[in-house]
Chain A
């Protein structure tokens, strides 16, 4: 039984290989980039604009608004990273409606890669936001005793991110595969619909959690002067 699209290997040369995960990821990148390019080629700054432009504006401003609500004071700074996570995961889930398609997020390699990106991005934005020493001090807050626990939490939440997304996406495809063998006609469609919903929810959860982690890392700077004054 195939658990991951990693197992479909189109081409291999020693360590280097071209599997379904990478190929479908390229497909998604192409779809997203070309779609965005086509739509944003003729953007209007007038009051009248195309439906496609409206759609893109709704998506971008919606993401921006969500990031602001999470607690990021300047959502535009993180829009490129967090917005792309959301769009990639969402697109990967939505494309499951195409037959023969395997979502790259159903591969643990992809989710680990994304989680690693978040794992690096949190200290990156934290240090950029409040400076190296301030950021490192936050690991020893409220007391230095908390240092190992903070480090463990940092690693475990990254792991949790990767496993959660992988589990959900993998289970979706697994369930459909199993149901196809049992009730091949009607029920798998319902499950696909459910899978679409789950995929969107997972995209939301993944990006929002990443936003929350980054916000937690950068927000110290804002709250600290207030505590000092007390």
Chain B
């Protein structure tokens, strides 16, 4: 008989003992260890995931901040560039304006200088012209010329205006001092006589006269009495000529100042 029933029973008992032993010493501890490890790994993975998520979030935050910073920097840079450009334009305009002003001022100064120089030159020229004229006429003034002058003077006496004549006559009559006849040179006696005669005839009275010489009179004769004076001399002509020239210059100056207006308009930007 191959089956020994006692052995069968004993083996069943043995088997259950083995089951119990292995459960106690093998399956339970090993499975517990595996479970514990799996839990631990899961926990570590979860924490790693959380850390990764946090890191990702931080990286995103940082990236966002970085982008913000870049944008801000770009804005500031462009603003600064704009400001610099504006400032440069402003300074440039200012400098141009200043330069323009300076130029205008200098031009004006130059014009003033030129005009004053011109004035000085014209004054000097005028002066020189008159001086030359006076000198020339003085050089030409001789006794014969004096004769001619006496003749002219007498003719003018005769041709004198009635009103002036009466006024002068009244003045001559009123004056106690003799009337003064001035000339450049000493008049010869014949000339004096002609003059005396002409005066007497003109005023129909005996006129007392005194003859004097004066270097101021370039060429001519002057009759003065009690503040009144009748004269004919080249000096008078020259004086009136000088006055006319002065007036002409004054007139010339006036339009010149008016001419400056368009220049100013052109220079201003």
Q: Do A and B come from one complex?
A: yes
Interface residues of A, Cβ cutoff 8 Å to B: 3-4, 6, 15-17, 19, 21-22, 25-26, 28-29, 32-33, 36-37, 40, 43-47, 53, 56-57, 60-61, 76, 79-81, 83-84, 87-88, 104, 107-110, 112-114, 116-117, 166
Contacts A19-B4, A109-B3 given; does A60 touch B18 at CB 8 Å: no
Closest-by-CB residue of A relative to B30 is: A60
In the complex, 11 of the A-B residue pairs with CB atoms within 8 angstroms, ordered by the A residue number, are A6-B7, A16-B6, A29-B21, A36-B25, A40-B30, A56-B26, A80-B22, A84-B18, A108-B3, A109-B5, A116-B8
A216-B121 Cα distance, complex, nearest whole Å: 144
Q: A82: nearest residue on chain B (CB-CB)?
A: B19
A25 to B31 CA separation, bound complex (whole angstroms):
26
Nearest A residue to B32 via CB reads A43
Stretch at the interface among B33-41, B73-81, B179-187, B199-207: B33-41
Q: Which residues of B contact A36 (CB under 8 A)?
A: 21-22, 25-26
Chain B residues packing against A (C-beta within 8 Å): 2-12, 14-19, 21-23, 25-27, 29-34, 36-37, 40-41
In the complex, what distance in Å separates the CA atom of A116 from the CA atom of B15? Answer: 11
Nearest residue in A to B40 (C-beta to C-beta)? A45
A47 touches B15 (CB 8 A): no
- B7 and A109 within 8 A (CB): yes
The answer to whether A37 and B25 touch (CB under 8 A), given A4-B2, A19-B4, A45-B40, is yes
| Contacts beyond the supplied A109-B3, A113-B7, A166-B2: 19 A-B pairs with Cβ under 8 Å | A6-B7, A17-B7, A19-B7, A21-B11, A29-B21, A33-B21, A33-B22, A43-B29, A43-B32, A56-B26, A57-B34, A60-B27, A60-B30, A76-B31, A84-B23, A88-B18, A109-B8, A110-B8, A110-B11
Residue contact B31 to A60, C-beta cutoff 8 Å: yes
